[in-house]
């Protein structure tokens, strides 16, 4: 665990001044505009930091050291290492500024994960074996091959009841693992871990070892939406979820799409499914009436013809058109092709096709 870092003690500090202990040239493997690149820069270690390094399933914080953007924060031993593209002077002090929107989002998703994990295990005996904090959607991996929709609905109702109850979230640091109470849920520590361990407790619900950033009260989560479950690896199930601001963002996107569909379909949201269903059926019917009639050759001489489309009109019209153009050919399924000796009758052939579809309406 990181030692003596203010981010571990108070996750709501947005600005802080610290001394630069070291600044060394380094490079970082990153992705820029979808391409993997090697970014040259500097690794900076401070005597304290408010920027959380990547770990425990949680991405790192972003922010600034003075006017220099922090590209990544990683953990090396007990140090938080800040990767920047401009050098800082060792021994000088620098003001840290946190990207609060990113921090709050991560706090909401991480504390929300603890809550969903706890309820899934308490109510249904489904332990969480891992989790992923994605850029848009997160998920927990449950140690069960399946989960019923009614169980998902039940979990969602309970976690939101806990949020409305405004349960406190406490954080306590223990000097070593042996001092942690037996009631604390653990998933093990990294090999060779030494030093203090932090325990995050949702009062009356769950206690769990964790180094990440968290809210101080469940009311700060606002709301949790469980999206769907899908089959995971090794006979496990991934349960996808959104917390807090991500729920509002997702809802805003849904409403925007709903308004566009309303304008396109000329009908209200409750009619969208029926209108799209009718549109698909109409499109299938239209596709059956689309027929490709292609000829190659001189207007009054020999050449080739191809008829392509739905198998029924192709099988009925192909031989007739072939005979009219004085040809010889064959068809199978959606395609009829032939060598013809008289393309002068092409206009009459087109008229026969037109009559066929007019009579079938």
In this structure, whether the domain defined by 104-251 belongs to CATH 3.10.450.40 is answered with: no
Reference 49, options 88, 17, 12, 92; nearest CA is 17
pLDDT tens digits, 314-346: 999 999 999 999 999 999 999 999 999 988 889
Q: Domain 289-360: which topology?
A: Diaminopimelate Epimerase; Chain A, domain 1 (3.10.310)
The answer for residues whose C-beta is within 8 angstroms of residue 302's C-beta and 6 or more apart is 339, 340, 341, 342, 343
**Residue 293 and residue 311: Cα distance in Å, rounded?**
13
**Cross-strand partners of 218:** none
Four-way CATH pick for 6-98: 2.40.30.130, 3.30.70.20, 3.40.50.880, 3.40.640.10: 2.40.30.130
Give the torsion through C-alpha atoms of 77, 82, 84, 88, to 10 deg: -100
End-to-end CA distance of the chain: 75
**Residue 224 and residue 245: Cα distance in Å, rounded?**
10
pLDDT at 288: 65
pLDDT at 130: 94
pLDDT at 1: 47
pLDDT tens digits, 163-212: 999 999 998 887 666 566 666 666 555 555 566 788 999 999 999 888 88
pLDDT at 92: 96
10-residue mean pLDDT series, the chain (361 residues):
59 91 94 87 95 89 96 90 96 96 97 98 96 96 98 98 97 71 60 71 93 94 98 97 98 95 91 89 72 86 90 92 93 93 90 84 60
Q: 32 to each of 29, 58, 198, 207, how far by Cα in Å? A: 10, 21, 35, 39
The domains of the chain are located at: 6-98, 104-251, 289-360
């Amino acid at each position: 665990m990181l030692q003596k870092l203010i981010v571990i003690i108070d996750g709501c500090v947005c600005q802080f001044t610290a001394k630069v202990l070291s600044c060394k040239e380094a490079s970082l493997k990153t992705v820029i505009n979808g391409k993997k690149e090697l970014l040259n820069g500097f690794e900076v270690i401070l005597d304290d930091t408010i920027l959380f390094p990547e770990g425990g399933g949680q991405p790192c914080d972003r922010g600034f050291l003075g006017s220099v953007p922090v590209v990544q924060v990683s953990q090396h031993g007990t140090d938080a290492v800040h990767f920047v593209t401009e050098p800082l002077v060792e021994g000088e002090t620098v003001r840290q500024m946190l990207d609060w929107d990113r921090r709050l989002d991560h706090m909401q998703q991480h504390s929300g994960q603890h809550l969903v994990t706890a309820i899934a295990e308490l109510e249904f005996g489904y332990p969480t074996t891992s989790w992923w904090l994605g850029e848009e959607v997160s998920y927990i991996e449950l140690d069960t091959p399946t989960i019923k929709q009614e169980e998902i609905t039940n979990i969602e109702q309970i976690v939101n009841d806990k949020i409305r109850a405004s349960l406190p979230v406490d954080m306590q640091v223990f000097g070593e693992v042996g001092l942690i109470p037996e009631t604390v849920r653990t998933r093990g520590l990294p090999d060779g871990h030494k030093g203090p361990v932090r325990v995050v407790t949702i009062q009356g619900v769950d206690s769990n070892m964790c180094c990440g950033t968290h809210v101080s009260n469940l009311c700060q989560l606002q709301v949790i939406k469980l999206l769907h479950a899908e089959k995971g690896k090794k006979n496990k199930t991934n349960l996808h979820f959104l917390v807090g601001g991500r729920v509002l963002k997702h809802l805003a996107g849904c409403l925007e799409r709903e308004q566009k569909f309303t304008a396109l379909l000329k009908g209200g949201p409750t009619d969208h499914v029926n209108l799209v269903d009718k549109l698909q059926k109409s499109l299938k019917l239209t596709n059956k009436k689309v027929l490709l009639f292609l000829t190659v050759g001189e207007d009054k001489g020999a050449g080739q013809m191809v008829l392509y489309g739905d198998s029924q009109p192709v099988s009925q019209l192909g031989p007739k058109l072939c005979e009219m153009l004085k040809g010889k050919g064959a068809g199978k399924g959606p395609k009829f092709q032939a060598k013809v000796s008289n393309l002068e009758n092409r206009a009459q052939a087109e008229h026969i096709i037109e009559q066929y579809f007019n009579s079938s309406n």
